[in-house]
Amino acid sequence: MPPVTRKEYAERENMKIAFIGLGNMGGGMAANLVKAGHAVNAFDLSEGALATAKDNGCTPFTDASEAVQDVDAVVSMLPNGGIVKSVYEGNVIGKAPAGAVLLDCSTIDVATAKEVIAQAEAAGYDMVDAPVSGGIAAANGGTLTFMVGGTEKAFARAEEVLQAMGKAVIHAGDAGAGQTAKICNNMLLAISMIGTAEAMKMAEKLGLDPQKFYEISSQSSGYCWSLNAYTPLPGVGVESPADKDYQSGFATGLMLKDLKLAMEAAETADASTPLGRHAKELYEQFAEDNAGLDFSAIIKSL
């Protein structure tokens, strides 16, 4: 199936969408749905988040079950698998219209994603797991990458919603495949960031100007996203959270959450992940006092 262009998307009939979970990521995503012309029912436990959503053109709800009534789609962005399961079992499945498509964009464990989708499908819904890559800036800018798990039919329906919030929407496979792609990708990112940080600090301690190291490695075999697009040392390379005292971007606590999910999945699949395991240990140590800093701040521990 060819990708939907922005022009084709803009010409489609607008939908009524319930958005559950308006945190750092969800708030911007819901706002982009409004910008695309959709009517958005917004739910969150935070009054501040609801107020912001209202300012962005959403209709705020204080009851998730009411927010999902008479909608064409339900999108959720929630902290963990337990909450996702609770919300879908208690407030979405059987409450949203049977014809609505359900999209969970949270990053959760693969087993729970499959379980919730199976429950939704048994009740007659199309549902996908669609975790994201890109961070807060991409959520606000509508440039997220979505990795989607579900049937071909569910993906085709979900794609119409996701196009308004992202630059890329990729069908990863059956239910749970989106979560698998997300945790494997972020395990690779964590390992890569630690390696980048080690190399930059070692070069600096050996007397090499960090900017010169960046100029050389970013154009040679050391080329990688962590170095080229997200340089962890302030004042070197491209502008990144490092230049803002690591106060923005992807929090260390969230990276640790994803690494824990990755290690749980690796154990169930009997997959050997020695570097992933060590990355989790390093981020556990660093997160004790720095959970709110961007994950690239781990360079401070070196």
Residues annotated catalytic, as ranges: 182
Residue 6's φ and ψ, nearest 5 degrees, are: -60, -40
In Å, how far are 8, 228, 256, 301 from 287, measured between CA atoms?
A: 44, 24, 8, 11
The answer to whether the CB of 194 falls within 8 A of the CB of 286 is: no
- Beta bridge partners, 129, equal 104, 149
Alpha helices in the chain (DSSP H): 6-10, 26-35, 47-55, 64-67, 81-87, 110-122, 135-141, 152-162, 177-205, 210-217, 225-228, 252-269, 274-290
Residues across the chain? 302
- Beta bridge partners, 41, equal 18, 59
Residues 279, 280, 281: CA angle, nearest 5 degrees: 90
Tokens read off for 260: 């824990």
209 burial (CB, 10 Å; 0-12 / 13-18 / 19+) is exposed
HEC profile for 223-265?
CCHHHHCCCCCCCCCCCCHHHHCCCCCCEHHHHHHHHHHHHHH
Eight-class DSSP state of 298: G
- What is the signed CA dihedral for 281, 255, 168, 153, rounded to 10 degrees? 80
